Structure 1
Amino acid sequence: MSSTARIRELFKKYGYTAVGVHLGVYAATISGCYVAAERSSGLEKLLIKYGLLSDESLKADKDSKQRGWFADQMSRGGPSLLIAFICTKALLPVRAPLTLAITPPVARILRQRAAST
């Protein structure tokens, strides 16, 4: 059975629980990727190295009107979010099996809690 068919079957069987687990795994993945992208501030140096960004435009941080659009965007959180989004999409082969593995135990725990209430 293909991975897509297994995920569809999982969503049919567990419903909102599977959706919640999937969104939780997705949120944890994109958050982790964002933190990793924020902490590795080598993106600006890499862009300067390949001539996509000038060092002078980053040094002119004191006056944002003198910076170019790209340099202005580089000083914000946008590039880190974009990198986190791309990494999260690339990690789908990891996230899908994780969702498949975690959903049944989470559903069992939620059923036990609902039964005890």
Structure 2
Amino acid sequence: MSKLQELVKKYGKVAIAVHLGVYAATLAGCYVAAERKFKIEHYLVKYGLLKEEDLRADGSPEDRPWLAKVLTSSGSSFAIAFVCTKALLPVRLPLTVAVTPAVAR
């Protein structure tokens, strides 16, 4: 997080614009994946962004963790995309840090 703060001090509005652009692209990608019923939760666990326990259904469906309910529900694709975008923060921040100097040139 300190790298992001340094980036904002150095590049200002460009860093914020790049960060928002990466966020918007991630949200859009996750939304498309959710709309197409892509098994998002499998990949979030595979790459260590979520724990298997967060998705495990022990007992009745009412006992499932909230994240499992959201990711496997037939509800709002936007809600699923939002949760996945938040889970991808460890990927988005380094990408923002890496891309901002090139965009600023």
With the length of structure 1 as denominator, give the TM-score of the two structures: 0.58
Q: Where do residues 1-117 of structure 1 align in structure 2 (5 Å cutoff)?
A: 4-40=1-37, 79-108=76-105
Aligned structure 1 segments of 4 or more residues deviating by more than 6 angstroms? none
Report the structure number with the largest CA radius of gyration: 1
Gap runs ≥5 in structure 1: 43-49, 53-73, 109-117
Aligned to 2:45: none
Q: Decide whether aligned partners of structure 1 residues 41 and 95 sit closer, same or farther in structure 2, where only a CA change above 3 A counts.
A: closer
CA–CA distance in structure 2, aligned partners of residues 11 and 41 of structure 1: 34
SS of 1:40's equivalent in the other structure is coil
SS of 1:94's equivalent in the other structure is helix
1:79 Cα deviation after fit: 1.1
SS of 1:32's equivalent in the other structure is helix
CA–CA distance in structure 2, aligned partners of residues 6 and 33 of structure 1: 25
CA–CA distance in structure 1, aligned partners of residues 5 and 61 of structure 2: 46
Identity %: 64
CA–CA distance in structure 2, aligned partners of residues 91 and 51 of structure 1: 26
SS of 1:95's equivalent in the other structure is helix
CA–CA distance in structure 1, aligned partners of residues 79 and 21 of structure 2: 19
CA–CA distance in structure 1, aligned partners of residues 3 and 37 of structure 2: 36
Aligned to 1:69: none
Gap runs ≥5 in structure 2: 40-59, 63-73
